[in-house]
Structure 1
Amino acid sequence: MTNEDPLEFKSSINSMYGHIHQSQRYAKGAILFAAYAEHIEKSVDYPDRYVNYHINCSSSIIFSYLCLEAYINELHYWLITPEKFSEELQFHKYPLDSSTRSKLEHFISARSDKTLEKYIGIALTCANLELKTGDILFQNVNLLSKLRNELVHYKLSVSTLIEDGKLIDPIANLKEKLTGKFTLNPLTHSDGFPDLYFPDQVVSLGAAQWAYRSVYEFIDDFHGQISWPPHERLPEPPKF
């Protein structure tokens, strides 16, 4: 880490007119866990080094995704409950009429568990903006979503027997798309530790840094394109 502490944030990011910005807290958590992982990676004699490294890296990755999800949920809440932000509306033009507001609520309720579809729906409904799902920023957070799902819904089975007798890796496609995105876990090469790609190699400081940077860049770009939400920017990714 640099001499400048990357974890110093303004206290104001925790609230907006009395409402908690949980996305900001998740962002700070992702950065904190990555900072701890960096410290462990550099500390050869750290107690239970491999296990603690894995815990902090995976936690950082998951918190980055939580930030992505919380951000759009907070924005959605602001859009459908403008009466709770009467003071804020004095300074920001409320973008939705009652009809559009109703369409948005219907769209979101049908996709309550699909984070990226919420971004697509809000951009299209509220700003007449079609997000470019093939863009690298969208693709990165989509990959993060898939990686998070594999970590949270972990399955012991790492291969499946198909009809012709061959073994296939169920995350081979994800592995291919993640290749080259970040550095893998350097501790897996230590004696006595496993060396499987998932979850051992892929859960790394590099992955944690990539995950938060991907969320930050995507949300910053999204926020800039639709321009009107009363959200503060996420803390910038620190330079480790």
Structure 2
Amino acid sequence: MKPPVALTIAGTDPSGGAGTSADLKTFGALGAFGTSVITAVVAQNTQGVAGFEQLAPDFVRLQLENLLADVRVDALKIGMLGDAATIRVVAEVLRGRPARYVVLDPVMVAKSGHRLLAPEAVAALRDELLPLVDLVTPNLPEAADLLGQKEVDDEAGMAAQLASLAHLAPGVLLKGGHADGEESVDLLAIDGATHRLTAPRVTTKNTHGTGCTLSAAIAALRPQRADWVAAVTDAKAYLSEALRRADELEIGHGHGPVHHYHAWW
């Protein structure tokens, strides 16, 4: 067998719902062999983040270079990076184009409100990393942070911010999960076109790791699909079902994880 190999560069999550834990589960669920490089060790559960320890940038580089010297990587998902020095290490590696497809989830703030990217690192993420990836997947708070603008809450505001973000990265999936309404609307700008992707909004408290899961799903599926639109569409369908089935799991006392293995359990 020669399955597509997906790599996640991100932080940990002991509760298993986000970070590299969510990414590896998603990769496997969608037919990709998962590999991982750790950027930070996070003390976290379903109720929030207690703190994290950033790994030395040179050690992140060592993990990356050691893996890439041996293992073929078809798709790369980037999550929590934590600081500007780590962002620059990852950017240096990306300039060598180690994977055909690169997806960036700009992890900045945990659902609990704990900041996971130093404020001074936002500029490095925006200016040094975004131009090197194929697709960036910000939610509405992250989009506002990247642009230095007020967070929007409607589709017109999303369209305006999407246009601004499209100048920063080759492809942008602006996620509307933080907006209101019965329908969740995402806007995808890729290959010179804009696509409106919708899904019924799922009512559940178990939404831990949704951003990690979606970006990992896109990375896992892109080598298996004809184009980015198909990969994103199918990744959204996978996440929607994982959200619909999330209440079947009893994990923790806070915002539990989505059901990554809903097709088997």
Name the TM-score class by shorter chain. under 0.3
Higher relative contact order (CA 8 A, sep 6+): 1
Higher relative strand content: 2
Higher relative helix content: 1
Structure whose CA Rg is larger? 1
